[in-house]
Amino acid sequence: MFYNNANFRLGYAGGYYDNFMVQYPLAYKLGICYPSQKVEQILFETHDLKLDDVLVAGV
């Protein structure tokens, strides 16, 4: 998984998590990553959900 400053993420699940989280619109979406997984830009589409927050390990 990769993430950016806007809390969008890029993973390898083929939309699985986006489809799952749509069923729970009030759930808090937290990404847990390493600093090395941060990127400047991520291409995302209208169906891609934004994380509420990102917890960065070791920071």
What pLDDT does residue 59 have? 67
Helix, strand, coil percentages for the chain (3-state, nearest 5): 15, 20, 65
pTM of the full predicted structure?
Answer: 0.79
The residue ranges of the chain whose pLDDT is under 50 are none
Q: What SS3 state is found at 35?
A: helix
Helices (H), 1-59: 16-21
Q: What SS3 state is found at 32?
A: strand
Contact of 12 with 34, CB cutoff 8 Å: no
Contact of 11 with 1, CB cutoff 8 Å: yes
